[in-house]
Amino acid sequence: MNIVYPAICHFEDGGYWCEFPDLDGCFSQGDTELEIVENAKEALEGYAVSVLEKGRPLPKASRITDIKTSGNDFATYIECDISSTGKSVRKNVTLPEWLCKRAEKASVNFSQTLQEALVKKLGFSSIG
C-alpha cells in the first residue's frame, strides 16, 4: 500500500530537517537534499505503520500547492510502500473450490490479492 504525504524540508546549520504538516510529531533529518528525502521516507513509513497498528486512521494528506515555504525551505511529496512492513500474520480463508482452482490456474497470488482487497475495503486506497 503506497502512501504519499507532503513534507517541508528546511536547511539550517549546514544540514536539513523536515516535517510533515499533516502528521503530528513526524520529523526527520539529513546532511544532503537526497538524504533528507530518503530519511523522510523511513520516518513516514514508521509513523504510518505505528498509527495503523494502533487502529487509528491516517489523516488526509494536504495538497502540496497549499503548503507555503520560505527562504531555502522546499516542499516535496514523500512516498512509501507499507505493504511489506510490520509484522505479518497468517490467515486461513475458505473459498469455493471452483474459484480456488481458477485462481490457481491463473497464478493468482492469494496473499497479495487479499491485501489489495482489504486495503480497498477499508478505504485505504484514497491515502495520498
Query: Given this model, what pLDDT does residue 120 score?
Result: 82
pLDDT tens-digit map of 36-80: 999 999 999 999 999 988 989 899 999 999 999 998 899 999 999
- Predicted confidence (pLDDT) at residue 86 exceeds the cutoff of 90: no
CA 63 and chain centroid, separation? 16
As a whole number, the mean pLDDT across the chain is: 89
HEC secondary structure over the chain:
CEEEEEEEEEEECCEEEEECCCCCCCEEEECCHHHHHHHHHHHHHHHHHHHHHCCCCCCCCCCHHHCCCCCCCEEEEEEEECCCCCCCCCCCCCCCHHHHHHHHHCCCCHHHHHHHHHHHHCCHHHCC
Going by pLDDT thresholds of 50, 70 and 90, the confidence category of residue 126 is: very low
pTM value is 0.74
CATH number, position 23: 3.30.160.250
Query: Given this model, what pLDDT does residue 6 score?
Result: 96
Total domains in the chain come to 1
Going by pLDDT thresholds of 50, 70 and 90, the confidence category of residue 97 is: very high
Please give the residue range of the domain that contains residue 53: 2-126
